[in-house]
Amino acid sequence: MKTGIWPVPVLAALAAGGLLRSEYERDHFVVEKVRLESPKIRKKRTLVFLTDLHDKEFGEGNERLLDAVRTIAPDLVLIGGDTMVTKPGHASLEVTKRLLEGLSGIAFVCYGNGNHEQRLREQRETYGNLYCRFRELLRTYEVGYLSDSSLDFGEDIRISGLDIDESYYHNRVSKRMGPGYVARSLGEADRERFQILLAHSPLFSGAYGRWGADLTFSGHFHGGTVRIPILGGVMTPQYQFFLPCCGGTFEKNGRYMIVGRGLGTHSVNIRFCNKPQVVAVQLLPGERKERMAVRKTQKIRWIRR
């Protein structure tokens, strides 16, 4: 066989194998656990973080995903945005409806906006009444909608959801975000309670931490689409390459960020070495010695500004 001819069928076979592997991964999520301690936490709690579903369903009505969440038995479910796909001529709330219906029977749900939810709200001439229908779904299933707002969960946790302006999604590399931006949207962080922030883009972790977030949940980058050992995620959905924050748990100066790899795809429908992810977070008291039993029902108090 002549040199230069034999690689063609080999490369074709590798490409076919890669596509088959990608199809398999896209349909098989993993549950990954994170354990964090803080003296602000008064009793053990379990949280589930879901992000970037993009209309994906794991089994009929997302039953496999819901079964996994039931098994974790969380006290709280956090949704980091982009449950749906919003493209002209391709936007539906059916998967979102079935997901919220199932999750609402498991635990209290908090929902923070991603760029797709904001697109529904800001481009109503394109998407009609879909944003109004989305808000009605949240009310129907008693979901805590954190659109530049906060709520208290129990006596020791505050959860805030930041709506990031669209310009920050289009100018991620060059545009800086200061802590003042977060404060103008949400007010001051709660320094006494454990402050959780839902902020869809992970690029501005410094601003989130300086604002006062003890733990930030982000997504948006889909784990980098393809993951390479040591190097991490290769490409974001906006074709940025080898950003270090595509997925994982990060810490700086005692402030934590968990970047979920997401559950679905859109536009670039590929996952390789990058299975969809459910994040289960166990929050534990830090320096305190007492341990109190976990309650299934927590006190919820909205923060008004």
Amino acid at position 248, single letter: G
Spatial separation of the C-alpha atoms in residues 224 and 171, rounded to whole Å: 18
- Rounded to an integer, the average pLDDT of 290-302 is 39
Strands 108-112 and 194-199: unpaired
Residues 26 and 269: beta-carbon distance below 8 Å? yes
Question: 265 vs 18, 82, 199, 237, CA distance in Å?
Answer: 16, 10, 19, 9
Which is it for the CA torsion 246, 254, 169, 134, positive or negative? positive
- Rounded to an integer, the average pLDDT of 87-115 is 95
∠ CA 54-59-63, nearest 5°, is 95
Amino acid at position 163, single letter: D
User: φ and ψ at 5, to 5 degrees?
Assistant: -100, -45
Predicted pLDDT at 198: 98
Strands 157-162 and 149-153: antiparallel
The string of pLDDT tens digits covering residues 110-147 is 999 999 999 999 999 999 999 999 999 999 999 999 99
* Coil, helix or strand at residue 98: helix
Amino acid at position 113, single letter: N
Spatial separation of the C-alpha atoms in residues 183 and 296, rounded to whole Å: 32
Can you list the domains of the chain with their CATH numbers? Answer: 30-303 (3.60.21.10)
The string of pLDDT tens digits covering residues 187-236 is 999 999 999 999 999 999 999 999 999 999 999 999 988 888 878 888 87
User: φ and ψ at 103, to 5 degrees?
Assistant: -65, -35
The string of pLDDT tens digits covering residues 259-278 is 999 999 988 888 988 999 99
Both tokens assigned to 215: 């733990």
Spatial separation of the C-alpha atoms in residues 63 and 49, rounded to whole Å: 17
* Coil, helix or strand at residue 182: helix
